[in-house]
Amino acid sequence: MNTDKNTIIGFVLLAGLFFMYFWYTNKQQTDLATYKKHFDDSVAMIKATADKAAALQNPVKLDSTTGAVVNNIDTLKEEFTYLENEVVKVKFSNKGGQVAKVTLKKYTNYKKELVTLGDSSSLNYPINMGDNKTLQVNHILFPTKTITAGEKGAQKIEYAYTTAAGKTIRHQFTLEANKYNVDWNIQLEGADQLLTNQQLNLIWDVHSYQQERTSVYERQMSNICFSEGGEFDYVSSKNTKAFEKPIQWVGLVQQFFSTTLIAKDGFNTGNLNWQRKIDSSNGLAALQSQFQKKVAGPNANIALSLYYGPNDFQILKAQAPEMEKIVNLGRDLYSFVRPINKYILMPVFDFFAGFIKNFGWVIFLLTIFIRVVTSPLTYSSYLSSAKMKVLKPELDSIKKKLGDDQQGFAMEQMKLFREAGVNPLGGCIPALLQIPIFFALYSFFNSNISLRGQSFLWSHDLSSYDSIATLPFTIPSFGNHISLFTLTAVITSLLMSVYNMAMTPTQDNPALKYMPYIFPFVLLFIFNGLPSALTWYYTVSNVITLLMQLLIQKVIIDHDKILAGIEIKRKTPKKKSNWQGKYEQLMETQKKVQALKDKTKK
């Protein structure tokens, strides 16, 4: 074979190509082996993490004789037991020996399903197992369960666990007839060894979920209520709270339901952290809390109670001192309306509800009651309006005479009112009365669980807004629906404004002239998302006001007699009040200043 130069070059290039091919192939195999090892390591890590998570989800079971951990996964079985009375069905678990869920048998949620509370919640505390081992109690499967019957229909269930050192933990629960609370006694035989420093460190995590039509509004109504040092308080805007005094009870409160932990002898110290949900789920809020309780002696009995139920004033009042204040009848800036609700509106409402089953008509009668009680004060304002109507022709004449002289007109108007004995601010009394009554009813209807689910006319739930149409979009501050009771409240408010403007002297100030028409428009946005009970009340109240004004103007008040009385008062010498004197001096000064300005311009 000839081995010329070109042949040698060809073999060298071919050898180089083969070398590069084998080098690249070997590199790929090495990279593949490295990747496979990394992949296998990742899988092993994920599996280890999953096993660890599963171990945390499934409580360990300790041999009651040796104290050794039983690793056979088939023996880790959670069992549930149910106790129920006329109002609740309580689900218990031997995992931690605690309440797993409570179903309220008389209330349904927005899905028309029975309301459930306490699910996704846990009560936990650490215990010393011996040999420097500490375990959370909700990681233990209690092997012993005993169900007994108590007095007066009470039902009892007890979970017991004995450690290797012979120390016993007992969780005793009692459910009485027609009660929403579950009494919980923790008995520790050997508390000096089971607890570190003889202190129970109780951890309570609880979550609340949507029960009403809109989770957004229900979140706004949610908060944390508690009793510290024997005094009621609550947390709404803040997320944390460190207790400085003994704690009697703490509750995660929704609009109409609450889950509350009650310490019958109080906790010594504690702290909590809570937050409202901000996502689009049906979750409302979550509470993480810790409480410390000192125990004395080798044996301890910690008496607690768990309330899962409605925010009913009378029911809560029977649970613990000041627990009825969970029902928001007025707080902080609106605390002045609480006595109105507690001592007037609530008793009257309950009285009418005692013999009328439809709550829409109960609200109707409550409205009439309010208007009758306030009628002596409003009558004087209507009388003042009638006098102003009589004086309107004279005021129009003065206005025509003075033209654009606003200060001169104001002085003449004040003089005329003084002569006739008219209080120009008298018409403000009904509006001022409406303010505390409105805030009182806003708190009352928002927190009155007896209105929940009660239908009236086209409203299916008086505790929520009524809707006659759903919009394909959401208007800020208005919502995505149209409330008919809101429209009736706004329309009747507009009619009142038109009527009152007809009774009022001519007003040239544009701001004051159009304000009565602006107010009903603002109400449209305020009322559209409020409970239909409140907008129904406002509608009835407006109608009654219009009827009263028409009745007083057309039947009760004699305009000729008023005019004659005005003439008599005009002839009677009058002494100016300090305010009237100062006001007239101010008007006179302003008139002179304006005259000087007009003269300077010329």
pLDDT digits (tens, 9 = 90+) for 20-56: 544 544 554 555 444 444 444 444 443 443 444 344 4
Q: Is the pLDDT of residue 463 over 60?
A: yes
- The fraction of the chain above a pLDDT of 90, given in percent, is 34
b/e per residue, 265-304, with b = 16+ CB within 10 A?
ebbbbbebbbebbeeeeebbbbbebbbbbebeeeebebeb
Any idea which residue has 């003449």 for tokens? 412
Q: Is the pLDDT of residue 511 over 70?
A: no
Alpha helix positions (H), 237-276: none
Query: What is residue 45's three-state secondary structure?
Result: helix
b/e per residue, 59-82, with b = 16+ CB within 10 A?
bbbbeeeeeeeeeeeeebeeeeee
- The answer to whether residues 67 and 164 touch, using CB atoms and an 8 Å cutoff, is yes
The residue among 567 and 137 whose pLDDT is bigger is 137
Please give the distance of CA 262 from its chain centroid, rounded to a whole number. 21
> Of 70-79, 241-250, 433-442, which one has max mean pLDDT?
241-250
Alpha carbon dihedral 190, 78, 121, 113, in 10-degree steps, equals: -140
- The answer to whether residues 137 and 169 touch, using CB atoms and an 8 Å cutoff, is yes
The residue among 194 and 16 whose pLDDT is bigger is 194
Please give the distance of CA 278 from its chain centroid, rounded to a whole number. 15
Q: Which of 88, 103, 105, 446 is nearest to 254 (CA)?
A: 446
- Report which residue type is found at 493: S
pLDDT of residue 430: 63
Both tokens assigned to 491 = 């329309």
Q: Which residues are CB-neighbours of 151 under 8 A, at least 6 positions away?
A: none
- Cβ atoms within 10 Å of 177's Cβ, excluding its own: 12
Confidence of residue 358 (pLDDT cuts 50, 70, 90): very high
Q: What is the DSSP letter of 336?
A: G
Helix axes 428-447, 532-551, angle to 10 degrees: 150
DSSP letters for 90-153: EEEETBTTEEEEEEEEEEE-TTSSEEEESTT-EEE-EEEEETTEEEEGGGBB--EEEEEE-GGG
Both tokens assigned to 447 = 């927190």
Bridge partners (DSSP) listed for residue 535: none
Confidence of residue 348 (pLDDT cuts 50, 70, 90): very high
Q: Kindly report the pTM of this predicted structure.
A: 0.74
What confidence tens digit (pLDDT) does each residue in 53-110 have?
344 444 444 444 444 444 343 455 889 999 999 999 999 999 999 999 999 999 999 8
DSSP letters for 49-99: HHHHHHHHHSPBEE-TTT-PEE--GGG----EEEEE-SSEEEEEETBTTEE
Q: Which of 405, 584, 442, 461 is nearest to 526 (CA)?
A: 442
Mean pLDDT taken over the chain: 79
- The answer to whether residues 297 and 191 touch, using CB atoms and an 8 Å cutoff, is yes
Q: Which of 356, 308, 398, 262 is nearest to 105 (CA)?
A: 308
Burial group, residue 568, by CB count within 10 angstroms (0-12, 13-18, 19+): exposed
- The answer to whether residues 340 and 231 touch, using CB atoms and an 8 Å cutoff, is no
- The answer to whether residues 249 and 232 touch, using CB atoms and an 8 Å cutoff, is no
Distance in angstroms (rounded) separating the CA atoms of residues 234 and 226: 6
pLDDT of residue 18: 44
Query: What is residue 572's three-state secondary structure?
Result: coil
What confidence tens digit (pLDDT) does each residue in 513-570 have?
666 677 778 888 888 888 999 999 999 988 988 888 777 777 766 666 666 666 666 6
Cα separations in angstroms, 126 against 139, 196, 261, 557: 10, 9, 18, 78
Q: Is the pLDDT of residue 505 over 60?
A: no
Q: Is the pLDDT of residue 1 over 50?
A: no
The residue among 327 and 481 whose pLDDT is bigger is 327
Distance in angstroms (rounded) separating the CA atoms of residues 585 and 350: 55
Q: Which of 135, 186, 124 is nearest to 160 (CA)?
A: 186
pLDDT of residue 602: 58
Category of 457 on φ-ψ map: left (φ > 0), alpha (ψ -120 to 50) or beta:
left
- Report which residue type is found at 259: T
Helix axes 406-420, 578-601, angle to 10 degrees: 160
Mean pLDDT across 128-148: 85
Q: Which of 163-177, 324-338, 381-395 has the lowest mean pLDDT?
A: 381-395
Q: Which of 323-327, 421-425, 465-469 has the lowest mean pLDDT?
A: 421-425
- The answer to whether residues 394 and 409 touch, using CB atoms and an 8 Å cutoff, is no
